[in-house]
């Protein structure tokens, strides 16, 4: 039972390049979330998926797109990376009965 | 507009003493509050939570207190241990149709000295 897994762990991109961050959970959770963490800013919600087949914007969605591929997988895409997207990205999932979210180990992304 | 604030960036405590981490919020719609702990290079892990219908919740060495009138919550760790050294985030949810979305504070770095 791996919980929430994220790939890759580290990535360096040049400005303008694109990439997709992958996230999968094996807890049969309905809801999944993408956050970014920046120094002094806490975690900020980028996009979320309340259930399979639905996605919606969070607090900081500009420059990102998401896909809820199936119940297990929720990917985050940067179409044209910018230095302002240098951050640590966390994926999380949540079951139906409570508010606790379970987080993956994160992806550290640097855009030069 | 920071709806959840942790005004102390860091806290240093001696082993065996009490650690008190504070959190303030501004959104009256928040009705569920959580504390997460984060070690370097790892994802946040859930620690303890409290519903707005309670004013206290305990789990072993960890107790969370909620003062709704002041829009303030605190996490008490007694006794503190060196392994508690981490970043602590408070988070809040508005329930209802919020789809479980969490709003996080900036975090407090706790250092427990042996």
pLDDT (tens digit, 9 = 90+) per residue, A58-92? 999 999 999 998 999 999 999 999 999 999 999 99
In chain A, which residues have their Cβ closer than 8 Å to the Cβ of B45? 103
Per-residue pLDDT band at B99 (split at 50, 70, 90): confident
3-state secondary structure of A48: strand
pLDDT at residue B70 greater than cutoff 90: yes
Of B43, B95, B106, the CB nearest to A42: B106
pLDDT (tens digit, 9 = 90+) per residue, A9-52? 999 999 999 999 999 999 999 999 999 999 888 999 999 999 99
In chain A, which residues have their Cβ closer than 8 Å to the Cβ of B32? 99
pLDDT (tens digit, 9 = 90+) per residue, B28-46? 999 999 999 999 999 999 9
pLDDT (average), residues B57-85: 97
Any chain B CB within 8 A of the CB of A27? no
Per-residue pLDDT band at A96 (split at 50, 70, 90): confident
Tell me, letter by letter, the H, E, C secondary structure of chain B: CCCEECCCCEEEEECCCCEEEEEEECCCCCCEEEEEEECCCCCCEEEEEEECCCCEEEECCEEEEEECCCCEEEEEECCCCHHHCEEEEEEEECCHHHCCCCEECCCEEEEEEC
How far does B92 lie from chain A, in Å, by closest CA?
Answer: 9
Per-residue pLDDT band at A54 (split at 50, 70, 90): very high
In chain A, which residues have their Cβ closer than 8 Å to the Cβ of B34? 99-100
What is the rounded end-to-end Cα distance, in angstroms, of chain B? Answer: 38
Of B99, B100, B104, the CB nearest to A43: B104
Per the rule left: phi > 0, alpha: psi between -120 and 50, beta: everything else, A24 is: beta
pLDDT at residue B97 greater than cutoff 70: no
How far does B78 lie from chain A, in Å, by closest CA?
Answer: 23
How far does A90 lie from chain B, in Å, by closest CA?
Answer: 7
Q: Which residues contact A101 (CB under 8 A, 6 or more apart)?
A: A33, A92, A93, A94, B46, B100, B102
DSSP A55: -
- CA A37 from chain centre, in angstroms, equals 11
Q: Which residues pair with A12 in a beta bridge?
A: A110
Any chain B CB within 8 A of the CB of A105? yes
Residue A68: per-residue pLDDT: 96
């Amino acid at each position: 039972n791996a919980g929430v897994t994220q790939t890759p762990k580290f990535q360096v991109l040049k400005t303008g390049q694109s990439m997709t961050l992958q996230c999968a959970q094996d807890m049969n959770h309905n809801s999944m979330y993408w956050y970014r963490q920046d120094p002094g800013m806490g975690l900020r919600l980028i996009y979320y998926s309340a259930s399979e087949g639905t996605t919606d914007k969070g607090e900081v969605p500009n420059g990102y797109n998401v896909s809820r591929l199936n119940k297990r997988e929720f990917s985050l895409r940067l179409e044209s990376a910018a230095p302002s997207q240098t951050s640590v990205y966390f994926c999380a999932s949540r079951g139906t009965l409570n508010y606790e979210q379970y987080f993956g180990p994160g992806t550290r992304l640097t855009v030069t | 507009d920071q709806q959840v604030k942790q005004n102390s960036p860091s806290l240093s405590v001696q082993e065996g003493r009490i650690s008190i981490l504070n959190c303030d919020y501004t959104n009256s719609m928040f009705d569920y509050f959580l504390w997460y702990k984060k070690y370097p290079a790892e994802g946040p892990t859930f620690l303890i939570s409290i519903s707005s219908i309670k004013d206290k919740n305990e789990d072993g060495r960890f107790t969370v207190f909620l003062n709704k009138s002041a829009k303030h919550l605190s996490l008490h760790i007694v006794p503190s241990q060196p392994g508690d050294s981490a970043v602590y985030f408070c988070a809040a949810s508005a329930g209802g149709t919020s789809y479980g979305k969490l709003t996080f504070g900036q975090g407090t770095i706790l250092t427990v000295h042996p």
